[in-house]
Structure 1
Amino acid sequence: MFNNKIFIIGTPIGNLKDITLRALETLKEVEIILCEDTRVTSKLLNHFKIENKKLLSYHKFNEKEMISKIFNLFHEGKKIALVSDAGMPKISDPGFWLIEKCYEENIQLELIPGVSSFVSSYVLSPFNGHFTFLGFLKDKSSQRTKQLENLNEGIYIIYVSPHKLISTLIDIDKVFGNDVKIFLSKEITKLYEKHYFGSPKDIMQNLPSTIKGEYTLCFKFEKPKEIRIKKNKYEKFSKFKNQNSIK
Structure 2
Amino acid sequence: MPQSPAALGAPSFHLALDAARAAAGAQHYPAGALYVVATPIGNLADITLRALHVLALADAIACEDTRHTAPLLRAYGIDGKPLIALHEHNEAQGAQAVIARLHAGERIAYVSDAGTPAVSDPGARLVAACAAASLRVLPLPGSSSVTTAISAAGLSGDGHFVFAGFLPHKAGERQAAVATLAQEPRAVVLLEAPHRITALADALAALGTRLVTVGRELTKQFEQIATLPCTELPHWLAADAQRQRGEFALVLHPAPAATKSADAERVLRLLLAELPTKSAVKLAADITGAPRNALYERALALKSTGQ
Give distance in 1, aligned partners of 2:185 and 2:254: 5
Contact 1:155 1:218 in 2 (8 A): yes
- Structure 2: which amino acid aligns with 1:112? L
- Secondary structure at the residue paired with 2:261? helix
RMSD: 2.2
Give the structure with the larger strand fraction.
Answer: 1
Give the structure with the larger helix fraction.
Answer: 2
Give distance in 2, aligned partners of 1:59 and 1:70: 13
C-alpha spacing 1:25/1:171, structure 2 compared with 1 (3 Å): same
- Secondary structure at the residue paired with 2:72? helix
- Structure 2: which amino acid aligns with 1:168? L
- The question of 1:81 aligning with 2:109 is answered yes
Contact 1:141 1:168 in 2 (8 A): no
- The question of 1:144 aligning with 2:174 is answered yes
Deviation at 1:96, TM superposition (A): 0.7
| Structure 2 unpaired stretches of 5+ | 1-28, 266-294
Deviation at 1:2, TM superposition (A): 3.8
Q: How does 1:229-240 map to 2 (within 5 A)?
A: 231=265, 235-240=299-304
- Give the alignment partner of residue 65 of structure 1, picking from 72, 93, 105: 93
- The question of 1:177 aligning with 2:205 is answered no
Contact 2:86 2:95 in 1 (8 A): no
Higher relative contact order (CA closer than 8 Å, sequence separation 6+): 1
How many residues align? The count is 241
- The question of 1:194 aligning with 2:227 is answered no
Contact 1:13 1:86 in 2 (8 A): yes
| Structure 1 unpaired stretches of 5+ | none
Give distance in 2, aligned partners of 1:75 and 1:236: 62
- The question of 1:209 aligning with 2:278 is answered no
- The question of 1:47 aligning with 2:75 is answered yes
Q: Percent identity?
A: 30
- Structure 2: which amino acid aligns with 1:241? T
Deviation at 1:163, TM superposition (A): 1.3
TM (norm. structure 2) is 0.73
Give distance in 2, aligned partners of 1:189 and 1:229: 38
- Structure 2: which amino acid aligns with 1:240? S
TM (norm. structure 1) is 0.90
C-alpha spacing 1:52/1:123, structure 2 compared with 1 (3 Å): same
- The question of 1:130 aligning with 2:130 is answered no
